Amino acid sequence: MTSNIDRRAFLRQAGLAGTALVIGFYLPGCKKQDGPEPEGSITLFKGNVDDVPEGTGINPFVIIDDQGNITLMAHRPDMGQGTYQSMPLLIAEELDVTLDQVTIKQAPGDKKYGDQGVGGSASVRTMWEPMRKVGAAAREMLALAAATRWGIDRADCDTENGMVINRKTDERLAYADLVAAAAQLPIPENPPLKSPDKFRLIGKSVARPDVPLKVRGAANYGLDMKKEGMVYALIERAPSFSSKVKAIDDSAVLAIPGVQKVLKTERILFKKRMEGVAVIADSYWAALQGRRALKVTWENDEVLLDTAAIYDKLRAAAQKEGVEVSSEGAFARAYAAAPVRLEAEYETPFAAHAAMEPQNALVEVRADSCEIWAPTQFPQWAQQEVAKTLGFQPEQVTVHVAFLGGGFGRRALPDFILEGVVLSKELGVPVKVVWTREDDMTQSPFRPGSVNRLQGGISSDGQLVALQHKVTTPSISYSLFPGMSGSNGEGGEMEPVNEHLYDIPNYQSRYVFADVDPIPLVWWRSVYSSTNVFAHECFIDELAEAAGKDPVAFRMAMLQTNQRNRKFLQFLAEKANWEKPLPENWARGIAMTHCFNTTAGHVVEISRNSAGKIRIERIITAVDCGIAVNPDNVKAQCEGCVVMGLSAALKPAITFTNGAATENNFHTYPILRINEMPQLEVHVVPNEEAPTGSGEPALPPLAPALANAISRLTGKRIRKLPLEDGLMG
């Protein structure tokens, strides 16, 4: 995979000099309560997203004012993955400023920043060079401005801690004194970048600037955005994804204090439209009370899917040939000729993202503009879709980005923002749409379930000579976007098994499309890798067993071509003491993968007690993501992947009854809690390769490593997730 970004065009765009515009949002004033003056003053409406500061923008990312304040704009939304630090840090490294010297501000959606979407574990790996070039270009312009003032060569200037230093005289000029002149200079297209041995910030576990805000409750999330004159909107959802509103009885609703209005509305999810009934009120609580008192009659003329029918459909589809997505050698011939042949079918469930912050958006539609405050992974995508909905140009729509209370792929979509747009346009006031947890869990687009069929042939000397991986799963791109057939397996459905990790002479991947409309689907942390790798790595383990080989040795024999992955597996096996014997009733399992350009894997150690219950004793995780820009944060991301992977493997699935999701809150869709957290060690492979993804790659191999350990201990193969109830204890 390579980045599609035209780096030169990016730098040119990102290097537009000029004074940054102030498009601030500050709501002064504090709403006084009636009655006696209380001791504690109440401020309901604050300036609760970052303003673009005044000052001279050397480029859109670097703004320096004459007081010497240096602001770096964090252009990528932060959902917990750390871009609020990592993007500015890459700039700061080359700009030669310390993080203490800069203020980081979250940028609104604006094409002058280039692509702002966060997903695909892509920010650091695609911005690694462009962000450093942004910093280096600014540094070069400042140094040249100083050199010109001193009448010396640029080569005789050093930069350090926000100063340019005259090497000959040791005179110093602060960036603040140079910024006006620097901004007039041409932007260098290829400014020199530091060699890794000169890095002061990159590769160090630098404390994240958002953490002090978050431990004080002072970080502003989407849900915290408030604006004077706004109304709250809660939307009663249809009993199935295809139900239509037949009749609304709001007689009891309007009697509730604070409720203002009830109206039919819709949720726009690209090609899908879902009807709902909005209750408008002056507080969340009043709107919720109103929603509870609302009576809606729904009608539905479509066949209502349930989980059993969905999996019958997937299993039947899995019998089809499907389309070939990738092939090397001649699988069919090699498989037919293999003395030992294995086949197995694996099933994975639908899953919800269940980010801790329910979906929400504050939207103000005016006659010729629209302003949005929302937790979105893709501010410019939201800007475009809002503009389309309103018949505006994107420039008429401002999207302020709040901290995201989790994202995991769900917040890529602008549907919850568009709900606010539809309502604010109709009502003529700012509208704050808030989803309940039940809305979030039952209405959110889901990770699709899958059926994976694998066939493998082993030679007489125990080598894997033929492997076929056939994935049967609904297509996310078909589910969301008009005009997509979804049937060619080129919408990411085959990731990462369209490329094989191991040296297998005859390998084929195939895809079978299965439609589960109208159930909405979307990317879930590590997307199809989260399900495909489960099947793939469990089957590799089955093949190793059939070949009579140790799972590490079996894999190692197939890692000759890619020496980096071979070293990775050695690293993981060493860290886990793979060769060390375990006590009785203990076992280890291993799995690894390569996705988002990163190699990651786990060894899971388990034990079985006298009652036959299995317990996870220890998880050893390794990741090779090139240079870890912030090693501690890479570890944190791996820890997150392990926990989310464990939840998906151990906890109940999302199921469907009569066309709607059954699980509706954390009691029916539980996720891992602290008492279930196993001992965990994360090891980052040290190297100086360019950075690759870190937010997702450690998730896919977790479930197969656990399943392989269980199979080894119990002799019974695990071919379905989540694990059967009662197995763990």
> In terms of CB distance, is 82 or 659 closer to other proteins?
82
Q: Phi-psi region for residue 270, left (φ > 0), alpha (ψ -120 to 50) or beta?
A: left
Among 58, 62, 79, 305, binds other proteins (CB under 8 A): 79
The answer to whether residue 243 forms part of the interface with other proteins (CB under 8 A) is no
Q: Is 186 in the site for other proteins (CB under 8 A)?
A: no
Closer residue to other proteins in complex, CB, 38/483: 38
Between residue 631 and residue 690, which ones bind other proteins under the rule CB under 8 A? Answer: 632-633, 636-637, 639-644, 665-667, 671-675, 677, 680
Nearer to other proteins, 37 or 579 (CB): 37
**Closest separation in Å from C-beta 228 to other proteins:** 12
Rounded to a whole number of angstroms, the minimum distance from the CB of residue 120 to other proteins is 18
Residue 679 pairs in a beta bridge with 618
Binding marks (x or -) toward other proteins, 287..316, rule CB under 8 A?
--x---------------------------
- Find the binder of other proteins among 52, 231, 338, 355 (CB under 8 A): 355
Neighbour-count burial for 53-89, b at 16+ CB within 10 Å, e otherwise: bbbbbbbbbbbbeeeeebbbbbbbbbbbbbbbbbbbb
Q: Which of 207, 309, 332, 553 binds other proteins (CB under 8 A)?
A: 207
Smallest separation (angstroms) from other proteins to the CB of 676: 9
Considering only 95-103, 206-214, 300-308, 515-523, which stretch makes contact with other proteins by CB under 8 A? 206-214
Residue 46 binds other proteins, judged by CB under 8 A? yes
CB of 327 to other proteins, least distance (A): 37
Q: Per CB under 8 A, does 28 bind other proteins?
A: no
52 versus 354: smaller Cβ distance to other proteins: 354
Rounded to 10 degrees, what is the CA torsion of 492, 494, 498, 501? 100
State the nearest-atom distance from the C-beta of 225 to other proteins, in Å: 9
10 Å CB burial of residue 18 (0-12, 13-18, 19+) is exposed
Residue from 255, 308, 336, 356 in contact with other proteins (CB under 8 A) = 356
CA dist 172 and 161 (Å) reads 11
Tell the smallest beta-carbon distance from residue 358 to other proteins (Å): 7
Q: How far apart are CA 16 and CA 320, in angstroms?
A: 54
**42 binds other proteins, rule: CB under 8 A:** yes
Give Cα 727 to chain centroid, integer Å. 30
H-type helices in 360-498, by residue range?
379-390, 415-427, 437-443, 476-480
Burial class (CB in 10 A: 0-12, 13-18, 19+), 152: middle
Q: Pick between residue 202 and residue 451 the one whose CB is nearest to other proteins.
A: 202
The CA–CA distances, whole Å, from 304 to 40, 155, 239, 518, 519 equal 54, 72, 11, 9, 10
395-424: contacts with other proteins (CB under 8 A): 403-408
Q: Which of residues 424-483 bind other proteins (CB under 8 A)?
A: 434, 436-438
- Binders of other proteins: how many residues, by CB under 8 A? 80
By the rule CB under 8 A, 218 interacts with other proteins: yes
Quote the least distance from Cβ 33 to other proteins, whole Å.
6
List 217, 229, 391, 482, residue binding other proteins (CB under 8 A): 217
Question: Interface residues for other proteins in 219-238 (CB under 8 A)?
Answer: 219-221, 223-224, 226
Residue 564, classified by CB atoms within 10 Å of its CB into exposed (0-12), middle (13-18) or buried (19+), is middle
Tell which residue, 408, 540, 428, 484, has the closest CA to residue 119.
Answer: 408
> What residues between 253 and 272 interact with other proteins by CB under 8 A?
257-258
Beta-carbon contacts of 116 under 8 Å, excluding residues fewer than 6 positions away, are: 75, 76, 77, 107, 109, 110, 378, 379, 380
In DSSP terms, which residues pair with 601 in a beta bridge? 592, 622
Task: Report the alpha-carbon distance of residue 106 to residue 52 in Å, rounded.
Answer: 8
Nearest distance from C-beta of residue 674 to other proteins, angstroms: 4
Q: Is residue 244 classed exposed, middle or buried when 0-12, 13-18 and 19+ CB atoms within 10 A define those classes? A: middle
Residue 100 contacts other proteins per CB under 8 A: no
- Least distance from other proteins to the Cβ atom of residue 38, Å: 5
Nearer to other proteins, 35 or 715 (CB): 35
Q: Which is nearer to other proteins, 137 or 646 (CB)?
A: 646
Q: State the nearest-atom distance from the C-beta of 30 to other proteins, in Å.
A: 8
Distance of closest approach, residue 130 Cβ to other proteins, in angstroms: 25
* DSSP output for 183-217: TTSPPPSS-----GGG-SSTTS-PPPTHHHHHHTT
How many residues make up the chain in this entry?
729
Please pick, from the candidates 19, 184, 283, 609, the single residue that binds other proteins as defined by CB under 8 A.
283
Q: Select the residue interacting with other proteins from 9, 16, 23, 44 (CB under 8 A).
A: 44
* 344 lies in the site for other proteins, by CB under 8 A: no
Could you tell me if 234 and 278 are in contact, meaning their C-beta atoms sit under 8 angstroms apart? Answer: yes
Q: Which residues contact 234 (CB under 8 A, 6 or more apart)?
A: 278, 279, 281, 284, 287, 288, 290, 291, 433, 434, 436
User: What is the rounded CA–CA span in Å between residue 75 and residue 379?
Assistant: 10
